[in-house]
Structure 1
Amino acid sequence: MTRALLSASGVRVAFPGRRGSPPSRAVDGVDLEIGAGEIVALVGESGCGKTTLARTLLGLVRPAAGTISFAGEPLAYTSRALKAYRRRAQLVLQDPSGSLNPRHTVYEAVAEGLRIHGVHRSGAAEREAVAGALARAGLRPPERFFLRYPHELSGGQRQRVVIAGALVLEPELIVADEPVASLDASVRGEILALLLRLRDELGLSALVVTHDLGLAWNIADRVAVMYLGRVVETGPVETVLTAPRHPYTRALLSVLPESGAEPVVLAGEPPDPARIPGGCRFHARCQVLASGAAAGVADRCRTEPLPVLRAGGEERGAACHWAAAGGR
């Protein structure tokens, strides 16, 4: 991997509990790096903290602890610094219909970012910037879409408009939260291909937040698997998805049709983030521990917490006592 464009170290985010209950530890000590021109997939089931982590990396949520750096500089939380940062790092949400104002034309939706960030351009220069962003997002000829409204577009076209709205500011990083979850299967591949093309042509970095390991396989250079506020396995996507070490990653992979494995049904629901169990936070649902295959480290799984896993570079790792002991 080249230099780290975005890095997080020891990031923790907690939300106040209700009626005197303990705070909810949504992100509970995460180290993560995204290199220049790299696509990283952040994978996990609903409620694991991946969207909170993504919002924190963008400066939308201030961490209770830890640091976030962009291009080697720690993120500052003044209004001026955050505004400058958000021009360089843009968010793409999963629901394009909710992201677009139904009363704004496509032109207005894409030009809005330029106006918010005070990018003063003449009318002709603004029009050229909007047209260029729409063209890069795959809407050609772009002028044909200028006066259309969101309801006049297909789901895939609306998502391209949202991506164009990010691209018009010429960011270095895009954080895409479930970017194809609301799209038909026929359109999903087109949007994923677009993200790959933007990486190749513009050197754009991306953090793709998803629950779908199949999507990670198709688009990512590296994957970080998240469970209950922590990254539990990370490494190059092909290495992790062909030979997963953590039982949680194995369970997620087992439900993919192409895996050929017997689907693993995890017991119960993820624990309450306000009451994270001791030891390995996955041990109460771990299929390997339940089967007796991890008998040699069972006590450690239930009592010894695991250190924070560094998710960066070409190294791979798994926060698992059984994997560390050579479990297969």
Structure 2
Amino acid sequence: MTSATTNTTTSTPALLSVADLRIAFPGRNGAPPARAVDGVDLDIRPGEIVALVGESGCGKTTLARSLLGLVPPTSGRILFDGAPLASSARALKAYRKRAQLVLQDPNGSLNPRHTVYDAVAEGLRIHGYGGDERAAVAGALARAGLRPPERFFLRYPHELSGGQRQRVVIAGALVLEPELLVADEPVASLDASVRGEILALLLRLRAELGLSALVVTHDLGLAWNIADRVAVMYLGRIVETGEVEQVLTAPRHPYTQALLSVLPEAPGAPVVLTGEPPDPSRVPGGCRFHARCQILAGGEAERAGVADACRSQDPGILTGGGTAQVACHWAHARAGAETGAGTGAERATPAQ
């Protein structure tokens, strides 16, 4: 198995750029606000597929939805093609021709009373498409792998397989010829035999159309097969990022190591993390992972001289670029011991 290969470089200007994004939801019964996204920098370049991975509840879906204007940020900045993402209804409508969302459950995305044709044509009608609607729908279905497309026009969602329904959802996104797809667990509800087909489709669309994509997933195997770059998220913040092969073959953050250890092909025993992820309304001080960290619990952080820093000092926010980075005091200390000094590219910026 080989990982996806990027066709972009770190010098290519970002299509989508996020800087210090924060999203907080009001707490219940006087509780502090829940910091669902708590300082995220993230860039996605033209033609690049970035996988955003992490446990359920870490803020992945909230971040993804905010990138499409569906969840307003509390603070921070989102730029698309160099321009700030505006919040007016007209500006968001124009933006959503260029950036489309593909959800996990095609059953929830498709109206059971609408034919496939109407489901795919809906976006064209919302945006006042002035061309040949039938040709546009047929082209989108064909690109999504439903051929001959006319055979599917009058079919309803219940008449399709799960993989076919997901292809209809993808066709509905493609019909507007977007530049960016945000796919939230796009194959999680599909049988294993169909998952590979949908992933191959996304890679083919990138190759043929130059699409960029953010793929939200808890599945590191999926990230390996489809992504150019991976960003690992924990408790509202990205804690490790870099090219997918680099991160997934030589993970530096203890959380990334734990996620990878449970894969069937992983060497050694799985790492069992203690406890549950903390409440996002009560993010612990110091490294937000320290209460569950197997490196701290096993004494390795103490031997590296960073145990106190793990408990008291925030490792900071990783920058959004394509360089390999990790927000971990122990990883920095280990890198410094191996090279004589930690490199600047490894370090996070201080949290505000």
What runs of 5+ residues in structure 1 fail to find an aligned partner? Answer: none
Q: Distance in 1 between matches of 2:165 and 2:35?
A: 34
Runs of 4+ in 1 over 3 A off after TM superposition: none
Paired residue for 2:300? 293
1:306 is aligned to 2:315: yes
Structure 1, residues 43-91: CA drift from partner, whole Å, max 9, x if none?
0000000000000111111111100000011111111100000110000
The answer as to whether partners of 1:231 and 1:311 remain within 8 angstroms in 2 is no
Structure 1, residues 195-249: CA drift from partner, whole Å, max 9, x if none?
0000000000000000000100000000000000000000000000000000000
What SS does the aligned partner of 1:76 have? coil
Percent identity (aligned):
80
Paired residue for 1:253? 260
1:320 is aligned to 2:328: yes
Residue number among 205, 208, 211 corresponding to 1:201 in the alignment:
208
User: How far off its partner does 1:312 sit?
Assistant: 2.1
Residue number among 78, 85, 104 corresponding to 2:95 in the alignment:
85
1:14 is aligned to 2:24: yes
Paired residue for 1:163? 170
Paired residue for 1:272? 279
Paired residue for 2:189? 182
Residue number among 246, 259, 265 corresponding to 1:239 in the alignment:
246
Q: Distance in 2 between matches of 1:262 and 1:187?
A: 30
What SS does the aligned partner of 1:208 have? strand
TM-score by length of 1: 0.98
The answer as to whether partners of 1:217 and 1:237 remain within 8 angstroms in 2 is yes
The answer as to whether partners of 1:235 and 1:311 remain within 8 angstroms in 2 is no
What SS does the aligned partner of 2:40 have? strand
What runs of 5+ residues in structure 2 fail to find an aligned partner? Answer: 1-8, 339-352
The answer as to whether partners of 2:51 and 2:231 remain within 8 angstroms in 1 is yes
Q: Distance in 1 between matches of 2:144 and 2:267?
A: 35
Give the number of equivalent residue pairs. 324
Structure 2 counterpart of 1:151, one-letter code: H
Q: Distance in 1 between matches of 2:224 and 2:321?
A: 17
The answer as to whether partners of 1:93 and 1:178 remain within 8 angstroms in 2 is yes
Residue number among 103, 122, 125 corresponding to 1:115 in the alignment:
125
1:28 is aligned to 2:38: yes
The answer as to whether partners of 1:247 and 1:287 remain within 8 angstroms in 2 is yes
